[in-house]
Amino acid sequence: MCIDKAGYAILSFADDRHLSVAHALRQLDNGDTHGGGVNGSYVSPILGKGFQGYFVGVLLSSSEEDGPRVMLVDHPGSKMKATIFSIDTGEVCSATPWVDIPACPDHHELQAMAVELNGSVYYLVENWRYIASIDTATMGIAVIELPQCVSPQSGSLDVGETKDGATCLVYTDGLDVGVLMHTRDDAADGIQKLVLDRVVSMDAELQRVLPAGQFDVLQVFAVRDGYVYLLASSATLQDPPGDRYWVLSLCLATMKLESCFREYGCAAIPYIMPWPLVLYLSTN
């Protein structure tokens, strides 16, 4: 599941190979002709039914002119295509042609991912050897080869942005956290690269913030607004999940762990929501 700042969530239906978008707080309008969700909550028309290969969706920043939109990436084998759909109507807004993705002999069945940052969608290919940058305005695609330090054996990774809005890729390798910055060489026809910026061990930080210090595995599950959200666990402890998983936030500016809480075996998705209206002080 993917949730954006406006509260839309992508629902994936693997059996029928399509996606829909839901919004728990948006109610169906009188003019809506498609089915709703629980208690009349909004569910979009079926989007992109009949994908050819592995498919992933990412919610795009919306404007009054464009309305809510979602990009769906279809990746069968050594080619890919990106299509933008209107969430309200299900119609195609724009699409790329099919683009070749270099084949990788040591292919691994890994989870692909896509995220929108600074007007582009970054799609990580399942083999973790390439990342595609898709310009949402021009629908141009650039395929970027990942450095050798990033591999399926690294552990985990995600694409996000620093506090000043620069696009970065953060990965883990054991207790080390590595940061790569996205660069564009305008003098060389705009060639895009991911350049290693730093690798920092989190061993001392984990001992500082966690009890017992018996954690030897770090996983990145999100990078948002200058913070990396990590899942700390142990590869050796056999305790119940609630005793061996912690969610941590790491500040990219200082590379210090700032907050943590236990994770009780459920999937965690960082989501910044508006301050609840019920908590505002009454002025009456």
Which CATH number does the domain housing residue 10 bear? 2.115.10
Over residues 186-202, the mean pLDDT reads 84
Structural domains of the chain, count:
1
In a domain, 149, yes or no: yes
In a domain, 42, yes or no: no
Instruction: Provide CB contacts within 8 A for 38, sequence distance 6+.
Output: 24
In a domain, 249, yes or no: yes
pLDDT above 70: percentage of residues in the chain: 66
In a domain, 41, yes or no: no
In a domain, 250, yes or no: yes
Residue 105 predicted with pLDDT over 80: no
In a domain, 282, yes or no: no
Query: Domain span at residue 174?
Result: 2-14+53-274
Per-residue pLDDT tens for 64-73? 777 888 888 8
Of 13-27, 52-66, 189-203, 237-251, highest mean pLDDT: 189-203
pTM of the entire structure? 0.77
In a domain, 235, yes or no: yes
Per-residue pLDDT tens for 138-176? 999 888 888 888 876 667 888 999 999 999 999 998 889
